[in-house]
Structure 1
Amino acid sequence: MTSPTDHPDLIVRGARIIDGSGAPSFVADLAVADDRIVALGDLAALKGAREIDAAGRALAPGFIDVHTHDDRALLSDPAMACKASQGVTTVVTGNCGISLAPLGRDRPMPPPLDLIAAGPDSFFPDFGAYLDALDRDPPAVNAVCQAGHATLRAGVMDRFDRPATETEIAVMREHLEAALDAGAVGLSTGLFYRPANAAPTEEVVALVRAVAAAGGIHSTHMRDEADHVTESLDETFRIGREGGVPVVISHHKVTNAPNHGRTRETLPMIDHARETQPVALDVYPYPAGSTILNPDRLAGAARVVVTWSKARPDVAGRDLADIAAEMGCGLEDAAARLQPAGAIYFAMDEDDVRRVLAWRYAMIGSDGLPHDSHPHPRLWGTFPRVLGHYARDLGLFSLEDAVRKMTGLPAAQFGLTDRGTIRPGAYADLVLFDPDTVIDRADWDHPTLPADGVDLVMVNGRAVWEAGAATGARPGRALRLQSLGPKGGVV
């Protein structure tokens, strides 16, 4: 009787293995059969159906993008080149309180739901229908999907400038429990945004208790990342503590010039909270963020670039200051005239970015917006930028630690059993890259350029990116809550 090890589909020979744990790398061969790694070590006695000489290359677990807004892109652009080209093999969706389910198509679609939805037809009335759509028409990458708090509110409330009533909370909880039963991994909130910022802490706690009961996880775009960032952290810790659920702080940062440097306060606060409860965070490697264009948010940014505008599609990619000068009005008036619209805000400090990236338990998340006309370059460049710029060129951390932040750590945090690691038996989610040349090419002017130095990306044992192009293979899977392990772990 033969085993998969006897006749592997692929052997990668002589690669520098970076296994996702943060341990020192080592040179070895690796064999893949079907969707699993079946052997690791000196495999000179084996012959694969395909063999790759990987001398001088690093082989790592596929990267896990823990903060995405790829909910619709998984269906509308299933090749997912923006992520596969970086080495990403799994995306976590439904962040910042916005998801495509559960929401009836007759319900309102307030911003920022328009960041992921083309219109009412983009939504699914129940979460199972959304996950089933991913099963029927699979993308190139795996997906771990959260239900969004703003989406739940939009499904039951007549307006958003008030707390939900007890009856509305009960209905939202029913919808959330159904989503969890269908496979949603947890609940995200975007308390910063208008559809949710009138929600009191107690409303969120009531909902995350359902998440805790199902063994899920909670992520949050906190209520404030500027002057009141420490108060927002305290609220986040309280939600996790009273709700009994692991918490992920989304895209941790401090914004606006008066707050630059305050990560010296926030990171010790998170360390202290971690002594008694599971708290993690994700971060993107840029000193600018991107979201909807808000006329009330302009004062704190040194520069604002329009990423899309339904009123003026022609201005995508241009500075708001230049647009306002052409219009002969102020920045706020120009922003109002462009609505609905999106923007990049240059409101962060590079030293804060580096401090958060280097924090021991920081995960990497792109927070890219795939439907923007002129997106933030993080959509295409996040992971190679961490590897090439911050690890190799600046030496902020080792290459092994950079890979851990993208693989083993997020896999432990989200319970992704047999992913985020290189060992026999693990899924063959793999990225082969050149550690000497890997780098992001996407920039502010050309934000959709694929990275250099990424040779091969495999998802569940099949190549999805090779020789600088998508292969057309779509082996990605919707990873449901019931298939995952415990949440809130670390490596």
Structure 2
Amino acid sequence: MVLIKSAQIIDGTGKPAYKADVLLRGDKISAIGTFPNKKADIVIDGLGLFLTPGFIDVNTDSDHYLSLFTEPYQKDFVRQGVTTIFGGHCGSSLAPLLYGGLESIRKWSDINQINVDWHSVGEFLKVLDRRGLGVNFGTLIGHSTLRRALIGEGLRDLTISDLEIFKKYINDSMKEGAFGISTGLSYAHSRQVPYSEIKELVQVVAEHKGVYATHLRNEKEGLLPSIYETLKVAEETGAETLISHFKPIYGYERDYQASLEILTPANVHYDTYPFDTSVIPIYTLLPDWAQVGGFEVIRTYLTTPGTRENVVKAISATKGDEIGDIRIAQAPGFSHLIGKTIRELAENEGLSLPETLIKMILLTNFRAVVFYKNIALSLAIAALMREQAMVSSNGASLPDDPDILKQERFYNTFPKFLEVVNSQKPISLEKAIKKITSDAAKKFGLKQRGIIQADNFADLTMFSFTPAGKMKVDFVFVNGEMAVQEGEARSSLSGTILRHNH
């Protein structure tokens, strides 16, 4: 039994904060009130600390980076107060796998790190049950993962038979606990997927009251048509819809602002983060036409003199000098590249910026991940404060490894968001907490999470602000077990593997 005394409670409902004691028994909140004489195994003095529901990160990549397996404690999340994460975004998930292959996540990680011993969503979730996680985890169904398994690397439309099989897999996966489906419509394998296919598949998810999350078809010159397409899916299917990592790209701020004004339906939200840097697979910097056909085909584009020259010209025309500031964050097997910019490497190699970029893509076998500063930060922060916004890291909890350069949003998104709220006060702290707790729980249909009340699961975060305005996470509980103690993450595996409608 744990007793938290005299904490300033922000309960996740949006109501004003109040001071009270909270009693935890097992994995649940047992009681809230004043307990001056109550004895407990652990007593925490909450005076001067805020006590809130554990934060919910609606868009993460710990599955894509396979760190669910390589870093099961998920310490980068619990250190920032996050107790629940969702994966399976951008069209790529770890299940269902028709043939046991992880090709759809090759852009993020080395798929040879783990042995796959599952096929269905149900089997995958049972594997995680056995292994354990430091946070609660739920997954979406990756549209591209399933589509590529069904028809291979081809870019053709689905036949009627293909579509019926696809719908059956989605229906079965939803019954087994998936929370919805995601698309990655800007990636080569999904760029030409017709609206009719998306609508048919999302309709199945809507029947299960699941979520449709989409990486937009175009975040730049085609932003507004992509938004209208998403709104149409949401309206015609009624599905809870989430636009993934919706960020204002430099040069397209006006279209982004216009998009915000039309994102008003109650079932449509977007997630984003308070940072100016994207974290992307290096090969996505190639022109669209050179990303088609899988890595083997792309390699021929980059190694055949005629097409390579066309790629160089296209990079020069569309990216120009800006690619010089792109920084390599991960390059498995090439640790000497970590932290280097394309410009620094170009100077060392005596090559142009586009030629250097191509060389790095080939050298790292398409597996490098880079930092790309392309987001209008002030507009991104303003967008976060709107009613339809949800907060996400769009990141992963990664092992502490000198061969990995972590972008700040992987480990500091939620403190950063609350620091901005606390200092600039664009919205109340109570409203900000509601956004990252009960609003997120409601979006994904989580039961007994996201609000501090008796009989709810004891996912809790305790924090304070320093005189300089920095947020300090002092204690975190995941299902009643302490995951962070006095600011230090513990090696806890108390997370629950979540199933939709279970």
8 Å CA contact 2:329–2:404 kept in 1: the answer is yes
2: CA distance between counterparts of 1:473 and 1:370? 14
Is structure 2 residue 499 aligned with structure 1 residue 480? yes
Alpha-carbon distance change, 36 to 131 in structure 1, aligned in 2, over 3 angstroms: same
Residue correspondence of structure 1 range 64-463 to structure 2 within 5 A: 64-71=56-63, 72-105=66-99, 107=101, 109-110=103-104, 113-115=107-109, 117-118=111-112, 121-122=115-116, 124-255=118-249, 257-271=250-264, 274=265, 278-293=267-282, 294-296=284-286, 299=318, 303-310=325-332, 312-339=334-361, 340=366, 341-370=368-397, 373-388=404-419, 390-436=420-466, 453-463=472-482
User: What is the one-letter code of the residue matched to 2:230?
Assistant: T
2: CA distance between counterparts of 1:97 and 1:189? 4
User: What is the one-letter code of the residue matched to 1:282?
Assistant: D
Alpha-carbon distance change, 43 to 205 in structure 1, aligned in 2, over 3 angstroms: same
2: CA distance between counterparts of 1:378 and 1:205? 32
2: CA distance between counterparts of 1:80 and 1:308? 19
Identical aligned residues as a percent? 29
Structure 1 length-normalised TM: 0.88
Query: Would you say how many aligned residue pairs link Structure 1 and Structure 2?
Result: 458
Is structure 2 residue 26 aligned with structure 1 residue 43? no
Measure how far apart 1:106 and its partner are.
5.8
8 Å CA contact 2:137–2:496 kept in 1: the answer is yes
Is structure 2 residue 51 aligned with structure 1 residue 59? yes
Is structure 2 residue 13 aligned with structure 1 residue 21? yes
The superposition leaves residues 100-155 of structure 1 with CA deviations (integer Å, 9 ceiling, x where unpaired) of 11124564715655448446845742111110011111101101111101111121
2: CA distance between counterparts of 1:76 and 1:95? 19
1: CA distance between counterparts of 2:48 and 2:21? 13
The superposition leaves residues 359-417 of structure 1 with CA deviations (integer Å, 9 ceiling, x where unpaired) of 123111100144582232211110111112x1122333322222112101101111111
2: CA distance between counterparts of 1:41 and 1:311? 55
User: Unmatched 5+ residue regions in structure 2?
Assistant: 288-314
8 Å CA contact 1:310–1:338 kept in 2: the answer is no
2: CA distance between counterparts of 1:281 and 1:93? 15
Compare 460-469 and 104-113 and name the one that shifted more.
104-113
User: What is the one-letter code of the residue matched to 1:28?
Assistant: A
Measure how far apart 1:431 and its partner are.
0.6
Compare 379-388 and 43-52 and name the one that shifted more.
43-52
2: CA distance between counterparts of 1:163 and 1:310? 35
2: CA distance between counterparts of 1:69 and 1:129? 20
Alpha-carbon distance change, 248 to 141 in structure 1, aligned in 2, over 3 angstroms: same
2: CA distance between counterparts of 1:123 and 1:13? 45
Aligned to 1:470: 489
User: Unmatched 5+ residue regions in structure 1?
Assistant: 1-8, 441-451, 484-491
Compare 85-94 and 205-214 and name the one that shifted more.
205-214
1: CA distance between counterparts of 2:76 and 2:102? 29
1: CA distance between counterparts of 2:73 and 2:467? 24
User: What is the one-letter code of the residue matched to 1:322?
Assistant: E
User: What is the one-letter code of the residue matched to 2:149?
Assistant: G
Name the SS of the counterpart of 1:97 in structure 2.
coil
8 Å CA contact 2:209–2:240 kept in 1: the answer is no
Name the SS of the counterpart of 2:145 in structure 1.
helix
User: What is the one-letter code of the residue matched to 1:350?
Assistant: L
2: CA distance between counterparts of 1:439 and 1:206? 48
Measure how far apart 1:253 and its partner are.
1.4
Aligned to 1:445: none
User: What is the one-letter code of the residue matched to 1:291?
Assistant: I
Is structure 2 residue 62 aligned with structure 1 residue 32? no
Name the SS of the counterpart of 2:235 in structure 1.
helix
2: CA distance between counterparts of 1:236 and 1:248? 9
RMSD after superposition: 2.2
2: CA distance between counterparts of 1:116 and 1:146? 21
Measure how far apart 1:311 and its partner are.
6.8
Name the SS of the counterpart of 2:96 in structure 1.
coil
8 Å CA contact 2:5–2:45 kept in 1: the answer is yes
1: CA distance between counterparts of 2:50 and 2:131? 32
User: What is the one-letter code of the residue matched to 2:20?
Assistant: A
8 Å CA contact 1:105–1:121 kept in 2: the answer is no
1: CA distance between counterparts of 2:449 and 2:88? 20
2: CA distance between counterparts of 1:109 and 1:427? 36
2: CA distance between counterparts of 1:369 and 1:317? 18
2: CA distance between counterparts of 1:432 and 1:178? 39
2: CA distance between counterparts of 1:70 and 1:154? 21
2: CA distance between counterparts of 1:41 and 1:108? 49
Name the SS of the counterpart of 2:11 in structure 1.
coil
Name the SS of the counterpart of 1:212 in structure 2.
helix
Name the SS of the counterpart of 1:404 in structure 2.
helix
The superposition leaves residues 136-193 of structure 1 with CA deviations (integer Å, 9 ceiling, x where unpaired) of 1110110111110111112111224333333222222222222112111100111011
User: What is the one-letter code of the residue matched to 1:264?
Assistant: Q
2: CA distance between counterparts of 1:386 and 1:370? 18
User: What is the one-letter code of the residue matched to 2:252?
Assistant: N
1: CA distance between counterparts of 2:143 and 2:34? 50
